[in-house]
């Protein structure tokens, strides 16, 4: 699965966003990961990583074939992992 990762600006981060996503990538090496700067703005899933509940990251121009998911905490990432595992099983 192709997964795009977009980070907010980090002005009010309440957790280590990068560390959280790096752990996610290590646990899911079967996927291909892209960032906005890679120029591939259409992905199967976009993970919008926000450091706080404001979730102010701009998603203009991003297209998700399956789902666009906002992650504002480690708990929300855990829910996403469950969903991705389910999508993988349904393939």
CB 22 within 8 A of CB 74: no
48 three-class SS: strand
Q: What is the pLDDT of residue 49?
A: 96
The pLDDT, as a whole number, for residue 91 is 67
The confidence score (pLDDT) of residue 24 equals: 94
Return the pLDDT at 32: 97
- Taking each continuous run of H as one helix and of E as one strand, the counts in the chain are 2, 4
Q: What is the pLDDT along the chain (91 residues), one digit of tens a residue?
A: 999 999 998 888 888 999 999 999 999 999 999 999 899 999 999 999 999 988 889 999 999 999 999 999 989 989 988 888 887 787 6
Report the DSSP pairing between strands 32-35 and 42-49: unpaired
């Amino acid at each position: 699965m192709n997964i795009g990762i977009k980070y907010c600006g980090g002005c009010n981060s309440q957790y280590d966003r990068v560390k959280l996503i790096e752990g996610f990538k290590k646990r899911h090496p079967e996927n291909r990961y892209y960032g906005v700067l890679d120029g591939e703005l259409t992905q199967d899933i976009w993970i919008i990583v926000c450091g706080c509940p404001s979730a102010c990251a701009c998603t203009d121009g991003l297209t998700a074939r399956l789902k666009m998911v906002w992650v504002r905490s480690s708990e929300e990432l855990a829910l996403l992992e469950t969903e991705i595992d389910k999508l993988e099983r349904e393939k």
